Amino acid sequence: MKDLLVTGSNGLLGHAVRALCPTATFVTREDADLTNLEQTRRLFEHVRPKAVLHLAAAVGGVKQNAERGADLFAVNVQINTNVLATAQAAGVQRLIAVLSSCAFPLHPDRPSTEDDLHAGMPFHGNLGYGFAKRMLDVHVRLLREEYGCKFSTVAPVTMYGPHDAFDPESGHVVGALIRKCHEAKAAGTPFVVWGTGQAIRQFVYAPDVAQWLLRHLESDQGPGTVIVAPDDGVTIFDLAHLIARVMEYPGEPRFDHRKPEGTLVKRIRSRRSEAPGGGFTCTPLEQGLRETVSWFLECEAHRAVDRIGQAGSRKRDTCSSSA
């Protein structure tokens, strides 16, 4: 799809879209600073896209979301406003913008749905980022109503897959646990997971979301958002045990009850026919984890080879300078 522009292409979802649609134009912050209106306009004038997948966002882990809410709100509002206004002015025919499950209020007795997006407050720890995503959805609706733009939004649950941020401090749950399990296995130490393990979270394989997005670029979806949630979720206890089994960790995870685990239940569910389930099947969690772990271990092996090569080069340089 040569007339497709994908913003935020260095992220997890951007890489998944690139694998399925390599002929699109993929841009990162190095190509244009989307917080700058003039740079955004020049980008659209250069690419002249007919369709846009707007994935770009300033994101952070749990700690950053809680401590830098004002900054994340301001930057994301700038990015979204510039991209949407420029896309409308440039006559973009189709645009899908990606929201976040963080934008939804949580209900203890039922999953949140699309109808809940603007009802009640999101979890306070995600307030800045979550509300910026809500404003993105409102802007999309208004452009569609006022100008007839075929713009829409989609809200996937927490994504995982190849190119995830495998960082135990700032990464999302799956990537962080894979890294922790890998390091524990290599060091022969316990695989420690924060919390009791009873918290429930939902996950979707990023290549599935990419496939869904590309399929729905061809449709004239109505205003509002569509939730992409393959199931009702899994406990962190079961997730950690599944990761340990996939990674062949010789033991069972240990849960540190002294550490926080966040909201006990975070669950959303779609009420729309366009969502997965209506002819679109998502990858089962264990299969997705196996593919993600395989990619992660291959990258780790390449890094190990590179480190050995760099060490050998430094040794040769030292010997040459000493001779």
Q: Which of 129, 160, 205, 249 is catalytic?
A: 129
The CA-based angle 102-161-2, given to 5 degrees, is 90
Phi and psi torsions of 279, nearest 5°: 90, 0
Has residue 317 got a pLDDT over 60? no
Q: Would you call 129 a catalytic residue per the annotation?
A: yes
Mean pLDDT in residue range 50-76:
86
Place of tokens 């009420």: 271
pTM of the predicted structure, to 2 decimals: 0.90
Whole-number pLDDT of residue 125: 80
**Pairing assessment for the beta strands 234-235 and 200-201 based on DSSP bridges:** antiparallel
Q: What is the pLDDT of residues 183-193, one digit of tens each?
A: 999 999 999 99
Whole-number pLDDT of residue 169: 72
Q: What is the number of alpha carbons within 13 Å of residue 115 lying toward its C-beta?
A: 5
Has residue 318 got a pLDDT over 60? no
Q: Three-class SS of residue 159?
A: strand
Q: What does the domain layout of the chain look like in residue ranges?
A: 4-303
Strands of the sheet with 94-98, listed across from one edge: 25-26, 4-7, 51-54, 94-98, 151-156, 225-228
What does the DSSP 8-state code read for residue 282?
Answer: P
* CATH tag for 4-303 (out of 2.70.150.10, 3.40.30.10, 3.30.450.40, 3.40.50.720): 3.40.50.720
Q: What is the pLDDT of residues 239-253, one digit of tens each?
A: 999 999 999 999 999
Alpha helical stretches, state H, the chain: 12-20, 37-47, 62-67, 69-89, 127-147, 173-187, 206-216, 236-246, 285-322
Q: What is the pLDDT of residues 136-169, one digit of tens each?
A: 999 999 999 999 999 999 999 999 999 998 987 7
CA distance 159 to 22: 21
pLDDT, averaged across the chain:
90
